[in-house]
Structure 1
Amino acid sequence: MTLHIDPARLAEATSGPRRYQMLIDGKWTDGEVGLEGERVSPGHGIVVSRYAFGSEADVARAVAAARRAFHRGPWPRMKAADRAAVLLKTADLIDARREEIARLDAIESGKPISQARGEIAGAADIWRYAASLARTLHGESYANLGDDMLGVVLREPVGVVSIITPWNFPFLIVAQKLPFALAAGCTTVVKPSEMTSASTVVLGEILMQAGLPEGVCNIVLGTGPEVGAHMVAHRDVDMVTFTGSTRVGKATVQAAGATLKKVAMELGGKNAQIVFPDADLDAAVDAAVFGAFFNAGECCNAGSRLIIHKAVAKDFLAAFEKRAARVKVGDPLDDATKVGAIITPEHLKKIENAVIDATADGATVALGGAGLTSAAGQYMTPTVVTGVKPDMAIAREEVFGPVLSVLEFERVEEALRLADLTDYGLSAGVWSRDIDTAMTVARSVRTGTVWVNTFMDGYPELPFGGMKQSGIGRELGKNAVEDFSEAKTIQFHRGPRTSWWVED
């Protein structure tokens, strides 16, 4: 199959790409070393962005600015209501520039524009939720320690936070971190992926317009080795929050351990949708197609494993493949597109090799299995791999592409064993009309989120994160602001105190 992609529809094809600078201490700046980067659109094959890239020296400048803003600036000492007002203004400005931001994410990451619009709207909602939490962060008091003692526990901002975000949800994932850090009174240094930095730079423009003081949010562009590693290792950084692969997450935790920084990690997943015979099978088919191919499978929450009861496997897979074959793969800027481009040619090859290795292990490609021919960009057809055995790599390892692995079971215990056979524990779905079955699976499977008769719904009010090697900590939810704070105990004594020194 050949896709027709017309790069000429992009303004960048004639006017040239925009160049983006870094934001350090309230000023737009190039890097001290003069490094540069550019982004070739994965869906169109032309350069759509140019960046001023940073280095260790720029990280040092940004951290110093954040440290000054924390110790001497107004932000940590503001009334919570005033911080919340800035976050609310930010949300309004995001809404006003939604189409612009969605387009940037679509052309840089390859995601469909219709999906990107939903992500930007969701991000604005998260900023508003974080604003509400800014006003509810509080400590505790203990008046039960005796008549002469009062204990008070304060929640204070943790300090300077390094925020490192990935390429697959450029604007949404920074919204799962930054507004909560700001709500707590922290100052920050943000590094977006070097492949999808544009929308984060626009966020910097929005924050300045919303009235965020200088130095509170600094944005340093560049690669992991040149920028991210130094943000993790810097002695004046108090906390690191990272979203990305488990491999890089492990290295990040190890590096942060040298100075005992607080860490929050949202990492990989190999998530199962478990379907029982009594489920609403039509709804389950639709959710399984969505879960496997949403964002071209480049999603830590992707439902990349279908664990299906043998009694309904044949009919379910026939319906799944029929629906999957109708999923529109194509230009990210086409409103009808459901599956856009793969992030890089190298990643496309990695996905294809995972499918090749599975067939060498004895699995069968029931649908798709290879990249699509295109005059511009790189694409892959939705793929279904059947006959998967629990010990195969494709059953255990994250492919991060539009590939569904199918395993079959007969008993609940077997389904749970299959669900938990990976090193990951991010999310899972269970499909059954029987409350006992649904509750048994939901309570037993070792994941941070379980969806029952739905898949990949998300709300700011609900915490998100994984067990096992899927991460450390939780994002979102009522405790999200508290996670960017430290507890401080203060003890007040009144009246005479018994002397430790005893006079002769």
Structure 2
Amino acid sequence: MNDLTLIAAASATLPDAVFLGRHLIGGEWLGSADGAVFERVSPSHGVVVSRSALGGVAETEAAIAAARSAFDGGGWSRASGKARAAVLLRVAELIEADVERIARIETLESGKPIAQARGEVAGAADLWRFAASLARTHHGDSHNSLGPDMLGIVLKEPIGVVSIITPWNFPFWILSQKLPFALAAGCTCVVKPSEMTPSTTVMMGELLVKAGLPAGVVNIVLGHGQPVGALMASHPDVDMVTFTGSTAVGRAIAAAASGTLKKVALELGGKNPQVIFADADLDQAADAVTFGVYFNAGECCNSGSRIIVHEDVAADLVARVVALSRKVAFGDPLNPETQVGAIISAAHQGKIDGYVQDAVEAGAEVALGGGALQIEGLPGQFYQPTVVTGVTADMAIAREEVFGPVLSVLTFRTMEEALALANDATYGLSAGVWSENVHTCLEFARRAQAGTVWTNTWMDGFPEMTFGGMKQSGLGREIGRYGFEEFLEVKTVAMRVGRDTRAKWVRG
């Protein structure tokens, strides 16, 4: 462990005051009716960093009623695309002006490095700008070929009230993958962030109010999945629920929503393979693999936690990844030099370590890491950069989402074997392929069962490029035009032009 790159506690001081979060309901900032609150302790620094109102049934029902009233009133749902875009563009400007404050609380609540948090918050502004462009340019269809006396019109209208439930690993970014697109479509929303990272969503609410969003269009309820999230998924006045999180919770949300047959969009887990062929640029591949597994401490649905490498280059690639892993800076998230911060909770750290130990018992070997990490001056939980070799497809570490800085290494000899291993998973979120042969890349990309396939790169994303999974990685899509259209209903209008000259059906 001494040959790892560790960053001790930073000289940056912790906040003087605890952040206080309240619900946003009908344009008002409110505490819970019973006065209940909950606290978030920083997973890296071990101190209370936020204290939030703990919502229940009363607050959730009030928020849904406010969203329903705002939608039915038409002030936002029937506003022009230009008017909606103006508010979204203003939000983008306010985000960019407030990056440091938002990023700091996100780092303290989640344990992610401050440099990464700054990048995510600043980058989220681009999602709001792209959504604003869609608000002004989206359109339906017309059919002028139905005969001389008929005109067909297809309208695209906002679906209605949308429940948005977001996770703890990218609280501000993932909210920005959903909320601006729902607003651009004309929907009204109720938002519930994770109870582990609630504060940046409250800050987003502050920016929305400042940007001039009408009261009730976006409502925020802080609290737990039970009862808040469950009611948001099942309530008859909600027309759609969009959720990002674990596959297990996604199934529960789909079941809760089924009682009212509301639309459900789910972005769930992943066990994402990167397949490295013998002709790949191993320097580039090793760098991308290292980034893919340690980004956000591996607490990422797109984590490249499973590599499938050709036997001829497996030893060479693993050696390169291990060498690079030793150089990745693990430590205090408040230090700008840190690349990997704390694990979200002690319970989750135990789960991560359990996968590694079970793999070793099943015959795998640990080439690097494989245990908790102590950072000088910090009481929180950290996990070593870990590379596990000799993994077989039947091991849990090769099939289940570890959600930590742990890389599993499998090997192959043929394209067919590589595809079989890549597709042998209940998930289908993303995949990658590394080869200098474009034909190899294209064949793999077309046959891989994944919503996103990267070739000779990993985790590049753009607001224009839609995102979502196959199989048990979810339903529906986010961002891009396809993600925007998730929030629209399609309506057909058949119009007769002029008087009906046909013979009457009933002769009188």
Question: Shared fold by TM > 0.5?
Answer: yes
| Residue 306 (1) aligns with residue 314 (2) | no
Q: CA deviation at 1:401?
A: 0.4
CA–CA distance in structure 2, aligned partners of residues 485 and 34 of structure 1: 38
CA–CA distance in structure 2, aligned partners of residues 499 and 102 of structure 1: 69
Q: Which residue of 2 aligns with 1:438?
A: 441
2:242 partner letter: T
| Residue 11 (1) aligns with residue 14 (2) | yes
Q: Which residue of 1 aligns with 2:288?
A: 287
CA–CA distance in structure 2, aligned partners of residues 297 and 290 of structure 1: 9
Q: Deviations over 1:146-201 (max 9, x none)?
A: 22211111111000000000000010000000000000000000001111011110
Q: CA deviation at 1:7?
A: 8.6
- Asked if structure 1 preserves the Cα contact closer than 8 Å seen for 2:7 and 2:330, the reply is no
Q: Which residue of 1 aligns with 2:391?
A: 388
SS class of match (2:44): coil
1:154 partner letter: L
SS class of match (2:95): helix
| Residue 353 (1) aligns with residue 354 (2) | yes
2:277 partner letter: F
CA–CA distance in structure 2, aligned partners of residues 469 and 379 of structure 1: 29
Q: CA deviation at 1:481?
A: 2.1
- Asked if structure 1 preserves the Cα contact closer than 8 Å seen for 2:9 and 2:331, the reply is no
| Residue 501 (1) aligns with residue 506 (2) | yes
CA–CA distance in structure 1, aligned partners of residues 293 and 116 of structure 2: 15
Q: CA deviation at 1:9?
A: 4.2
CA–CA distance in structure 2, aligned partners of residues 349 and 10 of structure 1: 29
In the TM superposition, 1:246-325 aligns within 5 A as 246-325=247-326
- Asked if structure 2 preserves the Cα contact closer than 8 Å seen for 1:140 and 1:153, the reply is yes
- Asked if structure 2 preserves the Cα contact closer than 8 Å seen for 1:39 and 1:47, the reply is yes
Q: Which residue of 2 aligns with 1:233?
A: 234
Q: Which residue of 2 aligns with 1:478?
A: 481
Q: Deviations over 1:95-130 (max 9, x none)?
A: 000111111111110111111111112100000000
CA–CA distance in structure 1, aligned partners of residues 395 and 503 of structure 2: 69
CA–CA distance in structure 2, aligned partners of residues 47 and 5 of structure 1: 20
| Residue 453 (1) aligns with residue 456 (2) | yes
1:310 partner letter: E
Q: CA deviation at 1:226?
A: 2.3
Q: How many residues align?
A: 501
- Asked if structure 2 preserves the Cα contact closer than 8 Å seen for 1:7 and 1:46, the reply is no
SS class of match (1:263): strand
Q: CA deviation at 1:6?
A: 4.3
1:109 partner letter: S
Identity %: 59
SS class of match (1:127): helix
Q: CA deviation at 1:18?
A: 1.8
Please report the TM-score for the alignment, with normalisation by the length of structure 2. Answer: 0.97
CA–CA distance in structure 2, aligned partners of residues 476 and 498 of structure 1: 50
Q: CA deviation at 1:73?
A: 4.3
- Asked if structure 2 preserves the Cα contact closer than 8 Å seen for 1:37 and 1:50, the reply is yes
Q: CA deviation at 1:11?
A: 3.1
| Residue 428 (1) aligns with residue 431 (2) | yes
CA–CA distance in structure 1, aligned partners of residues 226 and 76 of structure 2: 30
SS class of match (2:207): helix
Q: Which residue of 1 aligns with 2:364?
A: 363
Q: Deviations over 1:419-471 (max 9, x none)?
A: 01110000011000001111111111100000000000000000100001001
2:200 partner letter: S
In the TM superposition, 1:199-214 aligns within 5 A as 199-214=200-215
CA–CA distance in structure 2, aligned partners of residues 113 and 7 of structure 1: 11
Q: Deviations over 1:54-112 (max 9, x none)?
A: 10111100000001100114111211001000000000000000111111111110111
Q: Which residue of 2 aligns with 1:333?
A: 334
CA–CA distance in structure 1, aligned partners of residues 25 and 94 of structure 2: 21
Instruction: Tell me which of 402, 405, 417 is aligned to 1:402.
Output: 405
CA–CA distance in structure 2, aligned partners of residues 6 and 146 of structure 1: 75
Relative distance call for 1:5 and 1:29 in structure 2 (3 A) is farther
In the TM superposition, 1:134-149 aligns within 5 A as 134-149=135-150
2:114 partner letter: I
Instruction: Using the TM superposition, name which of 138-147 and 185-194 deviates more.
Output: 138-147
CA–CA distance in structure 2, aligned partners of residues 361 and 35 of structure 1: 46
2:172 partner letter: F
CA–CA distance in structure 1, aligned partners of residues 217 and 7 of structure 2: 45
1:482 partner letter: E
CA–CA distance in structure 2, aligned partners of residues 270 and 486 of structure 1: 32
1:495 partner letter: R
Relative distance call for 1:474 and 1:220 in structure 2 (3 A) is same
Instruction: Using the TM superposition, name which of 108-117 and 373-382 deviates more.
Output: 373-382
Q: Which residue of 1 aligns with 2:467?
A: 464
1:66 partner letter: A
Q: Deviations over 1:275-314 (max 9, x none)?
A: 1111111000000000011000000000000111010111
Relative distance call for 1:4 and 1:479 in structure 2 (3 A) is closer
CA–CA distance in structure 1, aligned partners of residues 321 and 73 of structure 2: 59
| Residue 418 (1) aligns with residue 421 (2) | yes
Instruction: Using the TM superposition, name which of 30-39 and 291-300 deviates more.
Output: 30-39
- Asked if structure 2 preserves the Cα contact closer than 8 Å seen for 1:137 and 1:482, the reply is no
- Asked if structure 1 preserves the Cα contact closer than 8 Å seen for 2:131 and 2:184, the reply is yes
SS class of match (2:259): helix
2:252 partner letter: A
- Asked if structure 1 preserves the Cα contact closer than 8 Å seen for 2:298 and 2:405, the reply is yes
Instruction: Using the TM superposition, name which of 72-81 and 394-403 deviates more.
Output: 72-81
SS class of match (2:322): helix
**What's the RMSD between the two structures over aligned residues?**
1.3
Q: CA deviation at 1:16?
A: 3.2
SS class of match (1:131): helix
Relative distance call for 1:322 and 1:248 in structure 2 (3 A) is same
Relative distance call for 1:5 and 1:346 in structure 2 (3 A) is farther
Instruction: Tell me which of 471, 485, 490 is aligned to 1:487.
Output: 490
Instruction: Using the TM superposition, name which of 374-383 and 272-281 deviates more.
Output: 374-383
- Asked if structure 2 preserves the Cα contact closer than 8 Å seen for 1:55 and 1:222, the reply is yes
Please report the TM-score for the alignment, with normalisation by the length of structure 1. Answer: 0.97
CA–CA distance in structure 2, aligned partners of residues 265 and 80 of structure 1: 26
Instruction: Structure 2 unaligned segments of length 5 or more: list them.
Output: none
CA–CA distance in structure 2, aligned partners of residues 479 and 464 of structure 1: 9
Q: Which residue of 1 aligns with 2:193?
A: 192
